[in-house]
């Protein structure tokens, strides 16, 4: 089946990177980050953490703020320094309780932001992740498109036409 694919800017904005990378199995990002950490110095600028966050929404009736509940959150903020002294900061806040994944994505974020060594592999992962996100979007759109309905008012004659 072919689906219409919307054009997406390439490379995508930094605000989209986490979405795409986290669509992939965690091991892929973790393996690349470990590879980068083996060849560069990675410093934690804040202690990587995992815990929960309160999800705040405005209700759409009266616009009161309320908490729908809690979500798992992991957080990492790192600096990657190459052998020749280039330095880049990266960070990740994820709805995921795997601290190791947040740390890995923060390393990838720093690497790609400053085009440090291995940024091509980070870009490749981004491309694979984006394809995965687009596939998920297509599946969701299919749920909608296959069930689009036009409720005609009873008695307006339109239902009788097919009988």
Partner 1 sequence: MGYVAIKGGEKAIDGAADALEALRGGGQPSGPDPLSLDAIEHQLRLLTSRIMSEGGLYHPKLAALAIKQMQGDTLEAGFALRAYRSTRPRLLETPPQDTGQMRLIRRISSAFKDIPGGQMLGPTHDYALRLMRFELAEESPEPFRKMAAQFLQNAPTDTLPDSFPKVLDALRKEGLLPPKPAHRNPAFDITRDPLIFPVSRSAALATMARAETGSMLAIAYSNMRGYGDVHPTVAELRVGYLPVMLPHPVTGELTEAGEVLMTECEVIAMYEPDDTDTGKDAAPEFTLGYGACFGHNETKAISMAILDRALQKGMHDGPANASEDPEFVLMHIDGVDSMGFANHYKMPHYVTFQSDMDRLRATRSKHQERGQDQQEVSHESEL
Contacts (CB under 8 A) with partner 1, residues 19-48: 19, 22, 46
- 12 conformational bin, left if phi > 0, alpha if psi -120 to 50, beta if neither: beta
Binding of partner 1 by 75 (CB under 8 A): yes
Binding of partner 1 by 106 (CB under 8 A): yes
Contact 25, 125 (CB under 8 A): no
Give Dmax over CA atoms of the chain in angstroms: 78
Of residues 39 and 49, the one with the C-beta less far from partner 1? 49
Q: How far does Cα 44 stand from its chain's mean position?
A: 22
Binding of partner 1 by 157 (CB under 8 A): no
Point out which span in 26-34, 36-44, 71-79, 123-131 binds partner 1 (CB under 8 A). 71-79
What does each C-alpha distance from 96 to 30, 53, 106, 121, 133 come to in angstroms? Answer: 14, 11, 14, 23, 17
Binding of partner 1 by 162 (CB under 8 A): no
Position among 7, 9, 10, 56 found at the interface with partner 1 (CB under 8 A): 56
Q: How far does Cα 136 stand from its chain's mean position?
A: 12
Binding of partner 1 by 145 (CB under 8 A): yes
CB of 29 to partner 1, least distance (A): 14
- What is the footprint of partner 1 within residues 125-144 (CB under 8 A)? 137-144
60 C-beta neighbours (distance < 10 Å), count? 6
């Amino acid at each position: 089946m072919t689906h219409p694919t919307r054009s997406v800017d390439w490379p995508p904005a930094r605000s989209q990177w986490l979405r795409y990378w986290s669509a992939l199995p965690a091991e892929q990002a973790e393996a690349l980050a470990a590879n980068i950490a083996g060849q560069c110095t990675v410093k934690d600028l804040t202690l990587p953490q995992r815990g929960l966050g309160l999800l705040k929404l405005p209700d759409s009736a009266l616009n009161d703020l309320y908490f729908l509940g809690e979500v798992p959150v992991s957080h990492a903020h790192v600096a990657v320094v190459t052998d020749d002294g280039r330095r880049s900061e990266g960070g990740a806040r994820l709805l995921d309780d795997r601290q190791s994944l947040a740390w890995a994505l923060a390393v990838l974020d720093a690497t790609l932001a400053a085009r440090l060594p291995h940024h091509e592999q980070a870009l490749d992962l981004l491309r694979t992740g984006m394809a995965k996100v687009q596939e998920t979007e297509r599946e969701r759109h299919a749920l909608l498109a296959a069930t689009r309905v036009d409720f005609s008012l009873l008695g307006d004659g339109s239902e009788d036409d097919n009988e």
